[in-house]
Structure 1
């Protein structure tokens, strides 16, 4: 797959996220994808991956901005640094009450790429920082 193709795959993931097209995102991952949610949970499988984003969209309206995409020399790994911009729609347990707060938070995405799709996706962001932003917003 070359570095350019890996970068295009990551860009397609970000574009699908920004369009809230969870089905398109799911088509980019392996049937047995390993997904680290950024919330301390690891999910296995395309269906669990899809369900996570469908559920999350009830609570947050988000898009990834300012994306910087990186690919490894062996084309099997990639990453993206993004600003997660969103609106908090419905209260999540462990977070402040939702009042339509807007937020911008740095986040990272890490990918393992195998046979033209993602076999692992890890989302990393500072959940306490998100809680603080939602408390002050």
Structure 2
């Protein structure tokens, strides 16, 4: 079950379909980004997705999924190919720079939905690519 949910989640991500991504989350989802404050709830995650879609165009490449035997935990590793579209806060100025990052993501699953998303990547690598 977890593997199917994660495949659907990243397929929706690659289509830029935030509504489909949000449909796979619990209402009280916890989002732990690689950098920054934890977000709680589907509304906060939706705001995050809107921000990301405005600033970046990204595609998940060849994800690999691991799930716990009881289906309550899962992980994904993938390459992320992106284009930096609009300057994001204090980060370097955007000028259409392309980047490629290895990303790890960890998930808690509950009742067939994603209850926690924790993303991890090397910010210094991203800064070197876009700076």
* TM-score in terms of structure 1 length: 0.92
Give the Å deviation of 1:93: 2.4
Distance 2:49 2:123 in 1: 17
Tell me the residue number matched to 1:120.
116
SS in 2 for 1:64: strand
Give the Å deviation of 1:108: 1.0
Unaligned runs of 5+ in 2: none
Tell me the residue number matched to 1:59.
55
Tell me the residue number matched to 1:32.
28
Counterpart mapping for 1:1-137 below 5 A: 5-135=1-131
Distance 1:65 1:94 in 2: 27
Give the Å deviation of 1:65: 0.5
SS in 1 for 2:19: helix
Unaligned runs of 5+ in 1: none
SS in 1 for 2:69: coil
SS in 1 for 2:28: strand
* TM-score in terms of structure 2 length: 0.96
- Count of aligned residue pairs for this structure pair: 131
Which runs of 4 or more aligned residues in structure 1 lie more than 4 Å from their structure 2 counterparts after TM superposition? none
Give the Å deviation of 1:90: 0.8
